[in-house]
Amino acid sequence: MEEYPSFLIQNIFQTVKDAYDCLTKANDKVQVYILASMSNLLSKKNETMVAACQIMDFLLEMFGQPSIQMRQEDIKHVYNVHMNEGQSVKEHVLDMIVHFNIVEINGAVFDEKSQVSFILKSLPKSFLQFRSNVIMNKIEYNMATACLCQT
């Protein structure tokens, strides 16, 4: 093992210690600001937390609600998404399912029938006959069969 000069090791330790001290000081300052801006009850509940990020996580867990704007953007995406010609149907359906889940996480819910309807609506013109067949014959797909159909 290679030996390092003691002044280099001391310098590295001092640099790390300085960075740690700076981080600790910044954390303490943020923690004081957060606790000062809270109600007394919340402030007392969060006094024991060591890091400011713990307080933020607690507050997000307690009060965190998706913004209306985020929910609207996610719903808008579901309404406006279209599959490109030549794109894999499987990828497109899975992408749509991901966006339905995101919308649900943000507080809006599409029932299964609506989800299938949005997926059918998003298909390109080359699927017109398929979509017409579904509508004319009143074929009822659910998400499980929609996933199976695209394989």
What's the CA gap between 58 and 81, in Å, rounded? 35
- Please, what is the average pLDDT of the chain? 77
Summarised one tens digit per residue, pLDDT across range 93-146 is 888 888 888 888 777 888 888 888 888 899 898 888 888 888 788 777 766 555
Separation CA 88–CA 92 (nearest Å): 6
Tell me the backbone φ, ψ of residue 92, rounded to 5 degrees: -65, -45
| Burial class of 138 by CB neighbour count within 10 A (0 to 12, 13 to 18, 19+) | exposed
Asked whether the predicted pLDDT for residue 151 surpasses 50, the reply is no
DSSP helix/strand/coil, 52? helix
